[in-house]
Structure 1
Amino acid sequence: MQLLPAHFHAASSNVRPLRIPSFQRTECLEEKLPFTVRMVSDEHALSKAVEIRHAAYKRHVPLFAESLKTPETTDAEDGVVVLLAESKLDGTALGTMRIQTNRFRPLSLEQSIALPDSLAGRPLAEATRLGVTGQRIGRVVKNVLFKAFYMYCQANGVHSMVIAGRAPIDRQYARLMFEDVYPEKGFIPLRHAGDMPHRIMQLKISDAKAKWQEAMHPLYDFFIRTSHPDIHVGRMKNNVLPFAPVGTFRLR
């Protein structure tokens, strides 16, 4: 998948095309989306997120996708939220992302590699299990999920966003100005990703705005100068999911 150019079109002719405003403008505008993004808080919403997650992974890594047919233990752990994008028209699930902070336990990628001193002991958030619809609007949904990730990190005092991408998806993160955590190591097999090699990358929250502005990034206005009231993220709560996924564990 490709990141959006400066202008993009909605998937349906019935939806007004979304436009990212000019980089030159200074005022902050409000933009409505044809879908919402929220934090999963019940079993039905989680099942929708798991369904779109599995479908997305099945298109690209079908063998690994077999392990994603049901909720994972991590989905219900403290310090974890699952985001769900849903169509306003019919409630269809359009995309999902899981965000794990290291407030209660190490990040999932730390099962496979230790973080450098520059990140050790810092409040971090790792985005995993990103999946979007195969429809054209999926490109829009993906960018909105990344904005939600950024907003969530801001709201919760996160130092750096961390993400791991397999080739060629890692290039998308590089275009968002994420940098290699271990440039000399290249791609590293990750246990929580079926031992598939991933490129581990990070973006410091306090640096993101300046980096995007200096680079005149085509998504700068979209991330910084445009308000999206359809994105509903906020402060971290313990046990956001008040249930245990079947066959996994019970929340303490």
Structure 2
Amino acid sequence: MAHIAFSSTRQPAANAIFSRAGIGAPVAIELLPFTVRPVLTEADLHKAVAVRHAAYARHLPDFARSLEQPEAADHDADTMILLAESKADGTVLGSVRIQTNFRQPLHIEASVDLPLWLATQRLAEVTRLGIVEGRIGRQVKLALIKACFDHCEQNGVDTAVVSGRAPIDRQYEQLLFTDVFASREPVTLRHVGNLPHRIMYFDIASGQERWEAARHPLLDFFCRTRHPDIDLGRHVTSVWKHGLPRGQQAAGAVVVGLAA
């Protein structure tokens, strides 16, 4: 996974306009050179798989060989895959997968017993983040991360939980994630090539407040800028309509693994 650059990703002034949403500070509306949308067809899926495989092959070539074709989880009814594509020529720039726990346990639960306060919540695991190299890839990564946060908010998700291998776990710390386990010891994850990952969490409701307190460089991008090119289509996977997960709790969580 390329380094997350904690700097402005805003386009030149010609690509950004401002509108006032009620009373308060202006809200920036930023146009991106690419779009982010859900995968809708088998052709879309193969585009996502291709960029995923290429991204993993740069860092984990042995594990990447298992990602040359779509995985069974890609076809699950409780899975949503996001695709980033260039506006200029339609080139695929990145993808990420989100899987909920309404019909089956999360993949991460095959490797680690989550604490009860987390395991009984509404969960989703975000995995298989893959992006192209270069400056545009860093921008695409931030947009896909924002799309995951947007998905959390649209579906009433309360807590984000991530799995990150070294040195990616440091990037989660920069985003103000906290370790789920006090020991901070890495856990071997079967669905990510048996590689050790730290398990960390992020409270969605207090996220903006904490970013503001820390004067986080991504605050404006995540919270104060509307990106029309990130279009989830108010997409809600069918499993979100079937009520609460196994624990019958009203709260929710998202498990995020940025492994590429």
Computed over aligned residues only, the root mean square deviation of the Cα atoms, in angstroms, reads 2.1
Distance 1:9 1:208 in 2: 21
Distance 2:78 2:212 in 1: 31
| 1:134 positional shift | 1.0
User: For residue 238 of structure 2, what is the amino acid of its counterpart?
Assistant: N
User: For residue 40 of structure 2, what is the amino acid of its counterpart?
Assistant: S
Would you say 1:151 and 2:150 are equivalent positions? Answer: yes
Structure 2: state its 5+ residue gaps: 19-23, 240-260
Q: Which residue of 2 aligns with 1:238?
A: 238
User: For residue 76 of structure 2, what is the amino acid of its counterpart?
Assistant: E
CA contact (8 A) 1:187 1:198 kept: yes
Structure 1: state its 5+ residue gaps: 240-252
* 1:47-94 alpha-carbon deviations (Å, 9 max, x no partner): 010000000000000000000000011111122111110000111110
Distance 2:50 2:237 in 1: 24
Q: Which residue of 2 aligns with 1:243?
A: none
Amino-acid identity (%): 48
Superposed, 1:111-190 pairs within 5 Å as: 111-190=110-189
CA contact (8 A) 1:127 1:162 kept: no
Would you say 1:6 and 2:7 are equivalent positions? Answer: yes
User: For residue 194 of structure 1, what is the amino acid of its counterpart?
Assistant: G
| 1:17–1:197 Cα change, 3 Å | farther
User: For residue 235 of structure 1, what is the amino acid of its counterpart?
Assistant: H
| 1:17 positional shift | 9.2
User: For residue 67 of structure 1, what is the amino acid of its counterpart?
Assistant: S
Q: List 4+ stretches of structure 1 deviating above 4 A.
A: 15-19
User: For residue 158 of structure 1, what is the amino acid of its counterpart?
Assistant: V
CA contact (8 A) 2:188 2:195 kept: yes
| 1:183 positional shift | 3.3
Would you say 1:29 and 2:46 are equivalent positions? Answer: no
CA contact (8 A) 2:57 2:64 kept: yes
* 1:195-219 alpha-carbon deviations (Å, 9 max, x no partner): 1111111112112111111111100
| 1:187 positional shift | 0.9
* 1:86-118 alpha-carbon deviations (Å, 9 max, x no partner): 000111110111111222222110110111122
| 1:170 positional shift | 1.3
Q: Which residue of 2 aligns with 1:244?
A: none
| 1:38 positional shift | 0.5
Q: Which residue of 2 aligns with 1:99?
A: 98
| 1:9 positional shift | 7.4
Distance 1:127 1:157 in 2: 16
Normalising by structure 1, report the TM-score.
0.86
Instruction: Report SS of the residue matched to 1:118.
Output: helix
| 1:221–1:202 Cα change, 3 Å | same
Q: Which residue of 1 aligns with 2:39?
A: 40
User: For residue 236 of structure 1, what is the amino acid of its counterpart?
Assistant: V
Distance 1:117 1:18 in 2: 46
Distance 1:18 1:163 in 2: 33
Normalising by structure 2, report the TM-score.
0.83
Distance 1:221 1:9 in 2: 10
Q: Which residue of 1 aligns with 2:249?
A: none
User: For residue 238 of structure 1, what is the amino acid of its counterpart?
Assistant: S
* 1:137-189 alpha-carbon deviations (Å, 9 max, x no partner): 11101010000000001111112222211111111111111111113151111
Superposed, 1:213-224 pairs within 5 Å as: 213-224=212-223
